[in-house]
Amino acid sequence: MRTFTDEQKQKLLDLIAKWKSRLRLEHWRVIVEWDKEPNNGDDVTLEVYPMPERHTAHIRVGCWFSDAISDAERENAVVHELLHIHAEPIWETVTRVLEHLSPQAQGLINEELRARFEVMIDAIATSIVPLD
């Protein structure tokens, strides 16, 4: 299991608090799951799991504390993951619509839309917090 220093934890929590406010997510409870690894691999910086019905999101920490990641990249990653919270209700609607299609169509559309959502979220996050 990975361990994080109090200073590391506070750095991430401070950025989450800052951007929750700026992105109008104050009514959301964002919980960092320090003891759980992201599901999408070791190269993931952060990973969010929003639950809109509860206004709660869980964030898992990947390589966010790596020395290879700049402060701008860290802040951009926080904004990126918090933007996913805003996008989640749209994604849930798409998922409900996909249920009415064949499994093949579901797979193709799901894959394409996920990629386009990531590009969109990246573009917005980078316009808010430019990368070095």
The residue extents of the domains of the chain are: 6-128
Walking along the chain (132 residues) 10 residues at a time, the average pLDDT comes out as: 88 97 97 89 88 95 92 96 95 90 90 93 97 82
> pLDDT value at position 2?
78
CATH architecture of the domain 6-128 equals: 2-Layer Sandwich (3.30)
3-state secondary structure of 104: helix
Query: Do 50 and 107 contact (CB within 8 A), yes or no?
Result: no
Residues pairing with 61 in the sheet: 46
For 1-132, strand residue ranges (E) read 29-33, 46-51, 56-61
Residue 21, burial from CB neighbour count under 10 angstroms (0-12, 13-18, 19+): exposed
Q: What is the pTM of this model?
A: 0.90
> pLDDT value at position 11?
96
With vertex at residue 25, the alpha carbon angle to CA 19 and CA 28, rounded to the nearest 5 degrees, is 120
